[in-house]
């Protein structure tokens, strides 16, 4: 018999359409992991609520948008378990139980905590729920007894606290959870239109859903090699935003040719932007079409998520039985003790 496959789990907050940074930084990797692991991928709608609680009206719609994007990008809901956090209420139960053993200091020390409060300064994030963000994330992971969590570097501190909480739980009540490991996969840096990291909060993104016209307009406004001032100046592809994108998604021959022509001042930035826009459009076209089909029938998409969430609940339910027994809070067990 072959070994049971390891469990991979990852999630993304339901904050709307995904962009090329999310695609190359995470989702492309999720797609590849389906080959070798039993994968659980979910929309973290409760995590979205920790910062968007004052206006939650878009969260459910955003959940459908992100899930349509994942599937369009190659996540296969027949193979991976694709679900919604709030459709599996066991996440909340486990979060509560873990909160009993989690020292406040551990949560306050997570570097992303103070950083986010500073960054999102127009919102009041001095809430219990926001402080508990990494704890809810811990519940998400250990509820499935996941072995590996593909995360970006920015999430490393969250995984560290997850491991600490698991150790504390296991030492108090017995070995219930495996310690989840971070699965770091080298991912390319995806610059935004302005050269900073592509990120929704910087407003410098290209979404998988962007229309060809939007992509042409966005590319026309991209920052390029700042040292190339006149058309006849030779350019430096290695420090140019446009070239970073060519490397990500243009055919290698084209990327190479453009680099040569740029260094020789044979191609100008304006022309290169037009060329790049067409490459991005072609790259995204199949995904854009697929996500449109999916979103044209939201009822069907929702049914798909209901099925995925039911599958997730089976595994989550088994873990919760073990957790309640370990805590001596299983009342059937209590009758026989
Ligand atoms: N915090 C993650 C993000 O912002 C989302 C997330 C929630 C997550 N729960 C998770 C990621 C569990 C991995 C595992 O992208």
Distance 136 CA to ligand 1 centre (A): 9
| Residue bearing the CA closest to ligand 1, atom 14 | 10
Integer angstrom CA distances of residue 201 from 28, 46, 196, 198, 218 = 21, 19, 11, 9, 16
Q: What is the pTM assigned to this prediction? A: 0.95
Residue 251 clears pLDDT 70, i.e. is over it: yes
Range(s) of the chain covered by CATH 1.10.240.10: 210-292
Instruction: Write the CA distances from 333 to 11, 124, 217, integer angstroms.
Output: 34, 43, 64
Q: Ligand 1 pocket test: pick from 137, 138, 153, 181 the residue with the most ligand atoms within 8 Å of its Cβ.
A: 137
At a CB cut-off of 8 Å and minimum separation 6, what does 199 contact? 21, 192, 205
In this prediction, residue 60 carries a pLDDT of 97
Ligand 1 atom nearest the C-alpha of 26 is: 15
Alpha-carbon span 77 to 278, nearest angstrom: 30
pLDDT digits (tens, 9 = 90+) for 142-189: 999 999 999 888 888 899 999 999 999 999 999 999 999 999 888 888
Query: How confident is the model over 8-21, as a mean pLDDT?
Result: 96
Q: Is 299 exposed, middle or buried (0-12, 13-18, 19+ CB in 10 A)?
A: exposed
CATH superfamily of 7-190+298-336: HUPs (3.40.50.620)
Q: Residues lining ligand 1, judged by CB closer than 6 Å?
A: 9-13, 44, 47, 137, 140-141, 149, 151, 155
Q: How far is the CA of 44 from the centre of ligand 1 (A)?
A: 7
Give the confidence band of 43 by pLDDT, cuts at 50, 70, 90.
very high
Q: What is the arrangement of strands in the sheet containing 81-84, beginning at the earlier edge strand?
A: 81-84, 38-44, 7-13, 148-150, 181-183
- CATH 3.40.50.620 location in the chain: 7-190+298-336
What spacing in Å lies between the alpha carbon of 293 and ligand 1's midpoint?
27
Minimum-distance ligand 1 atom for the alpha carbon of 137: 9
User: What does residue 258 show for φ and ψ, rounded to 5 degrees?
Assistant: -60, -40
Residue to mutate, 41, 81, 130, 158, ligand 1, most ligand atoms under 8 Å from C-beta: 158
CATH class of the region 210-292: mainly alpha
């Amino acid at each position: 018999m072959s070994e049971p496959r390891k469990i991979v789990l990852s999630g993304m907050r339901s904050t709307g359409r995904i962009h090329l940074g999310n695609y190359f930084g995470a989702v492309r990797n999720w797609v590849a992991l389906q080959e070798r692991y039993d994968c659980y991928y979910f929309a973290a709608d409760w995590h979205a609520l920790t910062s968007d609680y004052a206006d939650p009206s878009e969260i459910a719609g955003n959940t459908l948008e992100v899930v349509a994007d994942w599937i369009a990008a190659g996540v296969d809901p027949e193979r991976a378990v694709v679900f919604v956090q709030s459709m599996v209420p066991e996440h909340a139960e486990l979060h509560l139980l873990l909160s009993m053993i989690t020292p406040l200091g551990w949560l306050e020390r997570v570097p992303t905590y103070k950083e986010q409060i500073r960054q999102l300064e127009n919102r009041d994030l001095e809430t219990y729920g926001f402080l508990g963000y990494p704890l809810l994330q811990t519940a998400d992971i250990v509820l499935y007894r996941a072995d590996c969590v593909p995360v970006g570097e920015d999430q490393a501190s969250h995984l560290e606290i997850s491991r600490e909480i698991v150790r504390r739980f296991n030492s108090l009540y017995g070995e219930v959870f495996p310690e989840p490991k971070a699965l770091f996969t080298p991912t390319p840096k995806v610059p935004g239109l302005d050269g900073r990291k592509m990120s929704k909060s910087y407003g410098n993104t290209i979404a998988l859903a962007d229309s060809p016209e939007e992509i042409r307009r966005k590319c026309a406004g991209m920052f390029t090699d700042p040292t190339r001032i006149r058309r006849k100046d030779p350019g430096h592809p290695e420090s140019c935003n446009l070239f970073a994108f060519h490397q990500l998604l243009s055919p290698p021959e084209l990327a190479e040719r453009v680099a040569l022509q740029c260094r020789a001042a044979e191609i100008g930035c304006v022309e290169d932007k037009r060329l790049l826009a067409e490459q991005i459009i072609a790259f995204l076209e199949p995904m854009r079409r697929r996500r449109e089909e999916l979103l044209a029938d939201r009822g069907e998409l929702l049914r798909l998520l209901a099925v995925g969430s039911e599958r997730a609940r089976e595994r989550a339910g088994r873990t919760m039985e073990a957790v309640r027994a370990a805590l001596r809070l299983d009342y059937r067990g209590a009758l026989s003790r």
